[in-house]
Amino acid sequence: MAGERLDKVLAGSLPDYSRNRLKAWVEAGAVMVDGKVTKARYLLRGGESIKVFPQEMPEQFAFSPEDIPLDVVYEDDSVIVINKQPGLVVHPAAGNWSGTLLNGLLFRYPELKSLPRAGIVHRLDKDTSGLMVVARTAQAQTSLVRQLQERTVGRRYLAWVWGDAPSQGKVLASVGRDQRDRLRMAAGSPQGKPAATVFRRLAKASFNESPLALLECRLETGRTHQIRVHLESLGFPLLGDPVYRKKTPGVAKSLTFERQALHAYALSLQHPLSQEWMTWFRLPSADLMDLLPNIGMSEAVLPKEEALLASIQNDHQS
């Protein structure tokens, strides 16, 4: 092994562990060559003693219960409805192996450990706030997944966007991974999945002479970043969106709002057990409410629960 790099020797000697994991151990000081901590690219001379002290990796705690505050809107023996706060990741993944909604659910509802993804059937982006439903039984999870597949779950969002948006519209454009930037999604992607977003304008305003609007968006599909991608493709990026910001005016720099201005304010579905249609409604989180006066809008422009229920009833009848 003389002349070989330490990380290559470790990979060949410990094939049960990934190269990334072994490199992380080296960087954490958990690998010693002749009793000394060194670097992954260290070239061995031959005859050294290498000791490896295996470390627990963050993903090992991905499904660990954590006492995380949750705003539970509704719960019964079949479903749980959460009003997710902005900044909370829904499901553990690289970079966020703990502190997620899933960890909080397992702490509050230990029985969810027996369900795939702890009963989670759909997600919201980390910095999108609003309503989500979680299954509490296998039967409920099957029912909710089927409803989502059949597009009968009603999901309505409030989106604050830059630009002079029309009174209403519908976006029909596939959504898939951006081939030039793997961290982004793209509308019209050849490898994307069909996606549809219906919107209507609730209010118009301006900030430093730049037009903006409040839209109500209804999802007919549920693709990753769908609303953000679809609205940006029309030239109406969300206020505060750090990723999808084409045609964001320069004056946005003087508006302090550090997440996409998107809130899932209404959720309707057929209860998995009783088959009753149920609807939940929640006004935007505090940061969005505080944003309104800064952009020349009042709370009066927000939807009212009574009008929402009537609209949802009309949707079911049609």
**Residue 110 sits in a domain of what CATH number?**
3.30.2350.10
What pLDDT was estimated at residue 62? Answer: 73
Q: Distances in Å between the alpha carbon of 156 and those of 2, 30, 296?
A: 63, 49, 23
User: Is residue 243 domain-resident?
Assistant: yes
Averaged pLDDT, 55-74 = 84
What pLDDT was estimated at residue 45? Answer: 94
Asked if residue 287 and residue 166 are part of one domain, the reply reads: yes
Cβ(197)–Cβ(219) under 8 Å?
yes
| Per-residue pLDDT tens digits for 113-160 | 989 899 999 999 999 999 999 999 999 999 999 999 999 999 999 999
Find the domain containing 97 and state its range: 59-150
Answer whether residue 317 shows pLDDT above 80: no
Answer whether residue 59 shows pLDDT above 80: no
Tell me what percent of the residues of the chain surpass a pLDDT of 90: 78
Asked if residue 127 and residue 163 are part of one domain, the reply reads: no
Asked if residue 315 and residue 176 are part of one domain, the reply reads: yes
What pLDDT was estimated at residue 189? Answer: 84
| DSSP symbol at 40 | T
Instruction: Tell which residue, 171, 244, 160, 237, has the closest CA to residue 203.
Output: 160
Answer whether residue 16 shows pLDDT above 80: no
Answer whether residue 57 shows pLDDT above 80: no
Q: Which residues pair with 134 in a beta bridge?
A: 80, 120
User: Is residue 215 domain-resident?
Assistant: yes
Q: Rounded CA gap, 292 and 239, in Å?
A: 12
Rounded (5°) CA angle 16-20-26: 95
Q: Rounded CA gap, 133 and 152, in Å?
A: 14
| DSSP symbol at 96 | B
What pLDDT was estimated at residue 60? Answer: 61
Which stretch of DSSP H or E encloses residue 107?
helix 101-108
Confidence of residue 97 (pLDDT cuts 50, 70, 90): confident
The two tokens of residue 236 are 């109406």
Asked if residue 63 and residue 25 are part of one domain, the reply reads: no
Catalytic residue among 7, 34, 71, 125: 125
| Per-residue pLDDT tens digits for 182-210 | 789 999 988 899 999 999 999 999 999 99
Q: Rounded CA gap, 238 and 215, in Å?
A: 10
Question: Does the annotation count 125 as an active-site position?
Answer: yes
Distance between first and last Cα of the chain: 73
The two tokens of residue 101 are 């909604």
User: Which residue, 125, 150, 175, sits at the end of a domain?
Assistant: 150
User: Is residue 309 domain-resident?
Assistant: yes
What pLDDT was estimated at residue 20? Answer: 81
Q: Rounded CA gap, 100 and 97, in Å?
A: 8
User: Which residue, 150, 175, 198, sits at the end of a domain?
Assistant: 150
Q: For residue 77, count other CB atoms closer than 10 A to its CB.
A: 8
| DSSP symbol at 193 | B
User: Is residue 207 domain-resident?
Assistant: yes
CATH number, domain with residue 38: 3.10.290.10
Answer whether residue 58 shows pLDDT above 90: no
Asked if residue 162 and residue 137 are part of one domain, the reply reads: no
Q: Rounded CA gap, 265 and 311, in Å?
A: 14
What pLDDT was estimated at residue 66? Answer: 95
* Residues in CB range of 13: below 8 A, 6 or more apart: 50
Answer whether residue 312 shows pLDDT above 80: no
User: Is residue 73 domain-resident?
Assistant: yes
The two tokens of residue 86 are 């902005």
What average pLDDT does the structure give for the chain? 92
Q: Is 86 exposed, middle or buried (0-12, 13-18, 19+ CB in 10 A)?
A: buried
Cβ(20)–Cβ(54) under 8 Å?
no
Asked if residue 163 and residue 145 are part of one domain, the reply reads: no
User: Is residue 301 domain-resident?
Assistant: yes
User: Which residue, 101, 117, 150, sits at the end of a domain?
Assistant: 150
What pLDDT was estimated at residue 268? Answer: 95
Asked if residue 292 and residue 183 are part of one domain, the reply reads: yes
Asked if residue 67 and residue 35 are part of one domain, the reply reads: no
Asked if residue 159 and residue 16 are part of one domain, the reply reads: no
Which stretch of DSSP H or E encloses residue 310?
helix 305-317
Asked if residue 304 and residue 155 are part of one domain, the reply reads: yes
Q: How many domains does the chain have?
A: 3
* Residues in CB range of 237: below 8 A, 6 or more apart: 161, 162, 163, 228, 231, 244, 245, 246, 247, 248
Asked if residue 135 and residue 183 are part of one domain, the reply reads: no
| Per-residue pLDDT tens digits for 255-294 | 989 899 999 999 999 999 999 999 999 999 999 999 999 9
Answer whether residue 56 shows pLDDT above 90: no
Asked if residue 261 and residue 216 are part of one domain, the reply reads: yes
User: Is residue 144 domain-resident?
Assistant: yes
Q: Is 293 exposed, middle or buried (0-12, 13-18, 19+ CB in 10 A)?
A: exposed
What distance lies between CA 253 and its chain's CA centroid? Answer: 24
User: Is residue 1 domain-resident?
Assistant: no
